[in-house]
Amino acid sequence: MQAPETFPNQDDEAGLQLNADGSLRHLLTLKGLDRTLLVQLLDDAQRFVSPIGEAAARSQSLAGRTVANLFFEPSTRTRASFDLAGKRLGADVLNLDVNTSSRKKGESILDMIYTLQAMRVDIMVVRDASVGVPAYIARHVSDYVSILNAGEADVSHPTQGLLDLLTIRQHKKRFDELTVTIVGDIAHSRVARSTAQGLHTLGVGELRLVSPPPLAPDPGEMPYACLLDNLDEGLRDADVVMALRIQRERIGSLDGIPGIDEYFANYGISRERMRIAAPDAIVMHPGPMNRGIEIESALADSPASVITQQVANGVAVRMAVLEHVSKSMTWQ
Amino acid sequence: MQAPETFPNQDDEAGLQLNADGSLRHLLTLKGLDRTLLVQLLDDAQRFVSPIGEAAARSQSLAGRTVANLFFEPSTRTRASFDLAGKRLGADVLNLDVNTSSRKKGESILDMIYTLQAMRVDIMVVRDASVGVPAYIARHVSDYVSILNAGEADVSHPTQGLLDLLTIRQHKKRFDELTVTIVGDIAHSRVARSTAQGLHTLGVGELRLVSPPPLAPDPGEMPYACLLDNLDEGLRDADVVMALRIQRERIGSLDGIPGIDEYFANYGISRERMRIAAPDAIVMHPGPMNRGIEIESALADSPASVITQQVANGVAVRMAVLEHVSKSMTWQ
Amino acid sequence: MQAPETFPNQDDEAGLQLNADGSLRHLLTLKGLDRTLLVQLLDDAQRFVSPIGEAAARSQSLAGRTVANLFFEPSTRTRASFDLAGKRLGADVLNLDVNTSSRKKGESILDMIYTLQAMRVDIMVVRDASVGVPAYIARHVSDYVSILNAGEADVSHPTQGLLDLLTIRQHKKRFDELTVTIVGDIAHSRVARSTAQGLHTLGVGELRLVSPPPLAPDPGEMPYACLLDNLDEGLRDADVVMALRIQRERIGSLDGIPGIDEYFANYGISRERMRIAAPDAIVMHPGPMNRGIEIESALADSPASVITQQVANGVAVRMAVLEHVSKSMTWQ
């Protein structure tokens, strides 16, 4: 009998993604990518950012390539962002929505991957709710295929991390003088993990992670970050404040936080609350937002908010990553 | 807390869709579009009609543009028609199916729109079951985005109205000498409203709306139309006869019409029944048809039927509208 | 009232698919296609096979054409394969998933086809669970439309048959000296039927169909094949061995085969078992595989396995067929 598939999150994941010359073969995690490579990706992405009112950036650098979006978890935004990034580089894009339940009863994930590989898919963009799936796939594909992680359980969402870095860099020039505060359900957030990792590599001045105690990460996980449960303490003089989406169901399980109103009162960011941050602080959110829960609606629409700019940068970052892995492909 | 979204159908809707120079910025409704603009759109669409047996019309006038099909109501035909129209003009087309229930519990419709806008979607094609959604979106998008209404509750379906006008014009030269009869569930028909509006603007000779009394529109709504409940009276000497799709569930609620057979006997159009119309009358239906309910199957397939021609004209009209709004975009 | 649709599988199906000059108008079944035409399709497909590590084969021979994938049965692989085949030839591809239940309550299949035809879809790729649907559609479309069968009930899957033939030909030069063994649920397999038909036309030396007795085909159906219920007998000196996917639910209904383990013991192919076959025998499977049920996992991954090569050939074969029917279109 066929054993259930398991996806061990082995320690070579970070190394797995680099070619011998240090270029990117897969993008699985921001862990293990050095400052030079991150800066190069941000510089490349910046070239794909066009001013509002001008045409979207395009090229034909992926003409003749095939990109498959393989989403085992539902997604509208990230999928649309990768879809447009691929099309604007001239690639053929194949969108496949495969829910996890059908995967379990049907063919193994590797057989699905081998099938796409045989169809000459060059780049597979993978989202999955299980830890280790992108790396597991990356270990098994042929030399001619790149894997991009588009969201992996609670642990990793590297293109989101890159777009956050790019957005911060567009507003704040030096990372080493910055205080960045991420607020909310850190424990379950792949966004927080990838963004924190990238900030750490770029030498951020101070990184604060603010959450209700049950939603704090393991203290040893991000030793470079300062873990807090008091929002005002976290916001004080912060240059960048990022709110995370919280699943409403989780709020009920928090001690002393019986409902949404109390969550907002304690961990929601608002214009009022932001007065304690630096005067020119920017406000971020990975979306989709629960307005009135983790972020005040008026703050999300205020001049301090760079939330839609994050979305715009998302397409640019994905174009940069697609182009980068494509350039290092053997058959080019 | 986040208030439920409402979409007031404000009176400036018609004006909202025009640029200062009178060109089309959005297409929300045929209301408020003057005869000159309608004729121009029909002329443009006619250029995209190619004879059967020749290649489909194509151009590259939307190359570099992105069109998103944002359908909150399921649709196969209208979505396929816009998809092909966009692709045949060289646009990148993004297909998003978002059912209304997920919209309600998730992010607000405006956040979804702002996300697409940030991704540099130039034209959003919107279908929704609620009144006012396309205009609500149009009021909030940036100067660089156009909204096209692809079906709005019971009230508006402007590209369907245009394709009906084009089809009629191909067969009958002068609108002012025509008698047009629309038959069926007028009350719930966005098709009837848009087509009636367009015919009125083009100065149709006589417009008759025939329906069972419970499915008649409000008498004040279309004062230029003649409301009837007797089909033979409606068909007499008509030049154009259009049957509307009826939801089978509605038939049970009609006095004196216990079932499908009685509905067909009273309000179904047939070859026999069409003898009372003008000898060269054409027969239309917006599709999908309930053959044997609102229209006799043999009539739908008879030489008088122009139903598939309507479908062909649908792609041409949508190409013309996409091209028109694209030409007036600021960044061109 | 509208009668339920029926799709009689008339005897002219095979003839229906050829133009007067013997070229392919539709691809409905391999039945009736002569050796010359099969060899030509295989030769054409071979041109679209590119070595691993080189770019996927591409052309612009379908530029300006529209291909619609009309799948009334769910499919990931075959749909993806046709999608990529169309895109790599430069066609516009329209993907439509219409489940059968919605078809039954909604518009008739012909009205849907007439709609797509009016939108200038040139080639419709159809998968359906009912016998006769592709031929039924082919009988009704205009002179300018080609129908390709992408899987029809239990009876036909011609592009799968062609890709099997191509794969065999790449490894074994002469069909007339070959012994080919197909193992599993023959009775319900459209793959077995199409592949068997193609092998017969190409003059295969010996064709063996091995299955548990309840899953054997009707003895009169493929008189050219040898029907067996003993696997070892079927495998002896075989040059090509193809395992078929079995629905797990069917296993419970087999006498003397209480479960999966017994099925594998009796009808599963394995490295051990393959020792009885020819030393250079190849192993095939149409996918998706139930590893450990109809095929030992290690055998599927062994050097004898050509399973992913089948997938690669699938895209090539579909490109060849799309190009072939496109060349014979009237309007070219």
Q: Residue C14 — pLDDT band, cuts 50, 70, 90?
A: confident
Q: Tell me, yes or no, whether A119 and A170 share the same domain.
A: no
Percent of chain C clearing pLDDT 90 (strictly above): 83
Chain C, nearest residue to B86 by Cα: C92
Q: Could you tell me if residue B275 is inside a domain?
A: yes
Task: State yes or no: pLDDT of B66 exceeds 80.
Answer: yes
Chain A contact present for C292, CB below 8 A: yes
Residue C15 has what pLDDT?
Answer: 81
Phi, psi at C316, each rounded to 5°: -60, -45
Task: State yes or no: pLDDT of B2 exceeds 80.
Answer: no
Q: Tell me, yes or no, whether A26 and A137 share the same domain.
A: yes
- Per DSSP (E only), the strands in C72-183 are 92-97, 123-128, 146-152, 179-183
The answer to whether residues B308 and C19 touch, using CB atoms and an 8 Å cutoff, is: no
Distance CA B100, CA B98 (A): 6
Residue C104 has what pLDDT?
Answer: 54
Q: Tell me, yes or no, whether A144 and A53 share the same domain.
A: yes
Distance CA C100, CA C112 (A): 13
A331: its two tokens: 């058959």
Chain A contact present for B9, CB below 8 A: no
Residue C220 burial by Cβ neighbours in a 10 Å radius (0-12, 13-18, 19+):
exposed
Chain B contact present for C119, CB below 8 A: yes
Residues of chain A contacting C84 with CB distance shorter than 8 Å = 66, 92, 94, 119-120
Q: Could you tell me if residue C124 is inside a domain?
A: yes
The answer to whether residues C98 and B76 touch, using CB atoms and an 8 Å cutoff, is: yes
Q: Could you tell me if residue A264 is inside a domain?
A: yes
Residue-averaged pLDDT of chain A: 93
Residue A1 has what pLDDT?
Answer: 38
Q: Could you tell me if residue C318 is inside a domain?
A: yes
Phi, psi at B180, each rounded to 5°: -115, 130
Residue A331 has what pLDDT?
Answer: 54
Q: Residue A98 — pLDDT band, cuts 50, 70, 90?
A: confident
Residue A7 has what pLDDT?
Answer: 65
Chain B, nearest residue to C143 by Cα: B53
Task: State yes or no: pLDDT of B182 exceeds 70.
Answer: yes
Residue A2 has what pLDDT?
Answer: 44
Q: Could you tell me if residue B2 is inside a domain?
A: no
User: Would the CA dihedral through C326, C328, C329, C332 be positive or negative?
Assistant: positive
Q: Tell me, yes or no, whether A243 and A294 share the same domain.
A: yes
What's the pLDDT tens digit per position in A183-227?
A: 999 999 999 999 999 999 999 999 999 999 999 999 999 999 999
Q: How many domains are contained in chain A?
A: 2
Chain B, nearest residue to C67 by Cα: B84
Q: Tell me, yes or no, whether A47 and A171 share the same domain.
A: no
The Cα of A96 is separated from the nearest Cα of chain C by a number of Å equal to 8
- Per DSSP (E only), the strands in C85-133 are 92-97, 123-128
| H or E element that contains A320 | helix A307-327
Task: State yes or no: pLDDT of C332 exceeds 50.
Answer: no
Q: Tell me, yes or no, whether C200 and C253 share the same domain.
A: yes
Distance CA C319, CA C316 (A): 5
Give the residue-averaged pLDDT of B292-319: 98
Residue A15 has what pLDDT?
Answer: 81
Chain C contact present for B329, CB below 8 A: no
User: Amino acid identity of B148?
Assistant: L
Residue A332 has what pLDDT?
Answer: 46
Distance CA C247, CA C256 (A): 17
Residue numbers of the domain that contains C264? 158-301
Give me the CATH number covering residue A182.
3.40.50.1370
Residues of chain A contacting C310 with CB distance shorter than 8 Å = 118
What's the pLDDT tens digit per position in C190-214?
A: 999 999 999 999 999 999 999 999 9
Give the residue-averaged pLDDT of B183-196: 98
Q: What is the 3-state composition of chain B as percent helix, strand, coil, each rounded to the nearest 5?
A: 40, 15, 45
Q: Which chains touch A (3 or more CB pairs under 8 A)?
A: B, C
Q: Tell me, yes or no, whether A88 and A27 share the same domain.
A: yes
Q: What is the pTM of this model?
A: 0.95
Q: Tell me, yes or no, whether C162 and C149 share the same domain.
A: no
B108: its two tokens: 């607000």
Distance CA A149, CA C298 (A): 29
Residue B328 has what pLDDT?
Answer: 78
Q: Tell me, yes or no, whether C137 and C254 share the same domain.
A: no
Q: Tell me, yes or no, whether B143 and B88 share the same domain.
A: yes
User: Would the CA dihedral through B20, B23, B28, B34 be positive or negative?
Assistant: positive
Q: Residue B173 — pLDDT band, cuts 50, 70, 90?
A: confident
DSSP string, B122-168: -EEEEEESSTTHHHHHHHHS-TT-EEEEEEETTTB-HHHHHHHHHHH
Q: Would you say how long chain B is, in residues?
A: 332
Q: Could you tell me if residue C8 is inside a domain?
A: no
Q: Tell me, yes or no, whether C120 and C20 share the same domain.
A: yes
Q: Residue B105 — pLDDT band, cuts 50, 70, 90?
A: low
Q: Residue B258 — pLDDT band, cuts 50, 70, 90?
A: confident
Chain A contact present for C37, CB below 8 A: no
Q: Residue A53 — pLDDT band, cuts 50, 70, 90?
A: confident
Q: Tell me, yes or no, whether C65 and C135 share the same domain.
A: yes
Percent of chain B clearing pLDDT 70 (strictly above): 93
Q: Could you tell me if residue A191 is inside a domain?
A: yes
Establish, for the pair of chains B and C, how many residue pairs have beta carbons separated by less than 8 Å: 68
Q: With CA atoms as reference, report the closest residue to A165 among A280, A299, A321, A277.
A: A321
Q: Would you say how long chain A is, in residues?
A: 332
Q: Could you tell me if residue A8 is inside a domain?
A: no
More confident call, C132 vs C100: C132
Give the residue-averaged pLDDT of C153-164: 97
Task: State yes or no: pLDDT of B102 exceeds 60.
Answer: no
Nearest to C260 among A1, A112, A120 (CB): A1
